[in-house]
Amino acid sequence: MKKTLLTVATLTVLVAPVSSMAAKDSFYIKGNIGIGMGMDADIDNMPNGGGTAKMTYDSGFVGSLAAGYDFVSPMRMELEIIKQKNDLDITYYNNYYGSFNEGDLKTLSFMVNGFYDVDTGSAWTPFVGGGIGWSKLDINDAGFNDSDSDDVFTYQFIGGVAYAFNDQWSVDAQYRFIGTSEASIDGADFNVNSNDLMLGLRYSF
């Protein structure tokens, strides 16, 4: 009997309906942390006659804060600030300078995001979304003359699943693809693309 009651209680928690959470529109705040996996990038017009090069990244930290509004229709909109840092290498194809195993690329992004939540009638809510905005890219590497920066258009695609503990608190796991328009830093041209895995915590008012 005890085992039966425990099983019923466990299932109730896992599939508890979230109708109370979806009963009205609400503001929310959200924090996300995770791993940013920058994709290799070709660089044109390297400084000092270096020509064309390839930039490779180590996996790094990415985190964000967001404030949004849940329309429960089932759309959400939010404003988000994202910070990402990746250590990087630069390898010249012609080996004019060789490889540099130090330096980093820092990205600060300001985004407007929209989401579509899929109502499953339970505490689990898959979602898809996207966003547009702009980013400030700061690069520090021996292949460049000085630390320099550029502002670029930025977009992202997001997919994940959320779990609601109650009508206020929920957690989620996300995959994001983030890309930028062409950046020009110290005369060199390249794009920044990243595959990011993140965990989020949301509080609804």
Residue 87 located in a structural domain: yes
Residue 79 located in a structural domain: yes
Residue 10 located in a structural domain: no
8 A C-beta contact, residue 117 and residue 76: yes
Q: Higher pLDDT residue, 140 or 20? A: 140
3-state secondary structure of 59: coil
How crowded is residue 176: how many other Cβ atoms within 10 Å of its Cβ? 23
Residue 7 located in a structural domain: no
Number of domains into which the chain is organized: 1
Please report the pLDDT score of residue 4 as a whole number. 45
pLDDT bin (cut points 50, 70, 90) of residue 149 is confident
DSSP 115-166: EEE---SSSEEEEEEEEEEEEEEEEE-TTSSS-EEEEEEEEEEEEEEEEESS
Predicted structure pTM score? 0.82
Residue range 56-74, pLDDT digits in tens: 889 999 999 999 999 987 9
Residue range 26-53, pLDDT digits in tens: 999 999 999 999 999 888 877 666 667 7
Please report the pLDDT score of residue 140 as a whole number. 80
Residue 192 located in a structural domain: yes
Residue 16 located in a structural domain: no
Residue 21 located in a structural domain: no
Please report the pLDDT score of residue 101 as a whole number. 57
CATH code where residue 124 lies: 2.40.160.20
Q: Does 176 score more than 80 pLDDT?
A: yes
Residue 122 located in a structural domain: yes
Residue range 106-145, pLDDT digits in tens: 999 999 999 999 999 999 999 999 999 999 999 887 666 6
The residues that bridge with 74 in the sheet, in sequence order, are none
Q: The domain containing residue 163 runs over which residues?
A: 26-204
Q: Does 98 score more than 60 pLDDT?
A: no
8 A C-beta contact, residue 106 and residue 137: yes
